[in-house]
Amino acid sequence: MTSSSFFEYLHEQGLLSEVSLEKIRQKQSDKTISLFWDLRLVLYAGVLLLTGGLGVLIYKNIDDIGHLAIIGAMAATSLFCYGFALKRMNPFSWNEVRSPGVVFDYVLLLGSILMVTLVGYVQYQYKIFGTEWKLATFIPMLILFFTSYYFDHQGLLSMAIVNLAAWLGITINEKVFTHTNQLNDKETLVTAALLGAALILLSWLSRISRKKAHFSQLYHQFGTHMYFISSFIALFVFSPNYYPWVLVYLAGSVYHYFKSVKEKSYYYMVITMIYTYGCISFIVVDLVDESSGVHYDLKGKLVFAYFTFSSIAMIFLLIRQNKIFRKHAGVQ
């Protein structure tokens, strides 16, 4: 049965209205393809190339170009971008405001990147904040938070959160995942876990206060992963006295489990299970490893047996939870 005949069949069965069938017919006859996300990707690449190239150019020719010329050019471009955004933006509202267009989004992003760079450059060159280096992160962060809310731009909010973390001394980029030694300082780990919890709280506040409620997902994403990753690394760093961190970790697991159940979120269900499995596995391997009087060979067998049977148990749990969610959603 072809797609169109199946929808015709559904219509004959009384499961599909004439209006819906007509919409489907129109969609099937419309051969237009959308390159919306492709264009956004091209714009993103353009902004990255332009700002990256400018940065290296300035770095290499800093003595030839002159500091004031650099500052002037960056400030002028950034102001132009903000001016463009102000002119084109839809009126501010605490509810979601639709972007006027894809160019608006990326011109604003370009302006913001240049603004953040400018502040950093001026501090590096002229020490405008004296030895208060953290102000050079704090001020752009404030501007980014303000602009993300004012222009309703989730990309800027993401940058603002990354700057917030940086202000607190945590670097968030791909290195967090590839070089976890960036997070091996005990104080940094505590800060990261607290920031994760704070972001989750911010997500909740955004939702209940209905002030840009659609930002709540982004806060939660950053919060969840920061909380779990820092707690997981803390298990290693604080070893052998890691038990308080187990409580912290499992508190997060319990919260996320109930969140997934409440919202019927498959995403939070899966990441909660994977992160919790990581924590439990750490404890089991540590207990086996530390157990005295057990032969090395037997320890190996116990660990492999644990991973085999625990992962099978996780499979059953995931399938069971998936079925429960589908049942609640009324889907067979």
Site for another protein in 21-80 (CB under 8 A): 23-24, 27, 31-40, 42-60, 74
**Is there a cis peptide before residue 240, judged by omega within 30 degrees of 0?**
yes
Q: In the bound complex, what is the minimum distance in angstroms from residue 80's beta carbon to another protein? A: 13
Q: In the bound complex, what is the minimum distance in angstroms from residue 299's beta carbon to another protein? A: 10
Q: In the bound complex, what is the minimum distance in angstroms from residue 100's beta carbon to another protein? A: 12
Site residues for another protein, window 5-24 (CB under 8 A)? 6-7, 10, 13, 15-17, 20, 23-24
Question: Residues 171, 184, 239, 291: which binds another protein (CB under 8 A)?
Answer: 171
Told to check if 203 binds another protein by CB under 8 A, we report no
Cβ pair 226, 165 in contact under 8 A? yes
Question: Residues 75, 166, 190, 213: which binds another protein (CB under 8 A)?
Answer: 166
Candidates 85-93, 111-119, 193-201, 286-294; binding stretch for another protein (CB under 8 A): 111-119
Q: If you write DSSP's letter for every residue of 185-223 in order, what string do you get? A: -HHHHHHHHHHHHHHHHHHHHHHHHTSSGGGHHHHHHHH
Residue 32: CB atoms within 10 A of its CB come to: 5
Question: Residues 103, 254, 287, 294: which binds another protein (CB under 8 A)?
Answer: 103
Told to check if 292 binds another protein by CB under 8 A, we report no
Candidates 181-189, 205-213, 287-295, 313-321; binding stretch for another protein (CB under 8 A): 313-321
Applying CB under 8 A, the site for another protein has a residue count of 106
Question: Which CB sits closer to another protein, 135 or 238?
Answer: 135
Interatomic CA distance for residues 146 and 159, integer angstroms: 12
Candidates 121-129, 203-211, 241-249, 251-259; binding stretch for another protein (CB under 8 A): 121-129
Told to check if 137 binds another protein by CB under 8 A, we report yes
Task: Please tell me the total number of residues recorded for the chain in this structure.
Answer: 332
Site residues for another protein, window 211-270 (CB under 8 A)? 217-218, 221-222, 266-267, 269-270
Residue 184: CB atoms within 10 A of its CB come to: 13
**Unique residue bearing structure tokens 């116990």:** 302
Question: Residues 81, 85, 273, 279: which binds another protein (CB under 8 A)?
Answer: 273
Q: In the bound complex, what is the minimum distance in angstroms from residue 238's beta carbon to another protein? A: 25
Cβ pair 166, 191 in contact under 8 A? no
Interatomic CA distance for residues 88 and 328, integer angstroms: 44
Residue 180 CB contacts under 8 Å (≥ 6 apart), including other chains: 233
Told to check if 108 binds another protein by CB under 8 A, we report no
Distances in Å between the Cα of 119 and the Cα atoms of 82, 113, 122, 133 are: 15, 10, 5, 11
Q: In the bound complex, what is the minimum distance in angstroms from residue 201's beta carbon to another protein? A: 19
Told to check if 312 binds another protein by CB under 8 A, we report yes
Question: Residues 71, 80, 89, 117: which binds another protein (CB under 8 A)?
Answer: 117
Interatomic CA distance for residues 45 and 36, integer angstroms: 14
Q: Which tokens sit at 49?
A: 């190339």
Q: Which residues of 295-327 are buried (b: 16+ CB within 10 A; e: fewer)?
A: eeeeeeebeeebeeeeeeeeeeeeeebeeebee
Told to check if 319 binds another protein by CB under 8 A, we report yes
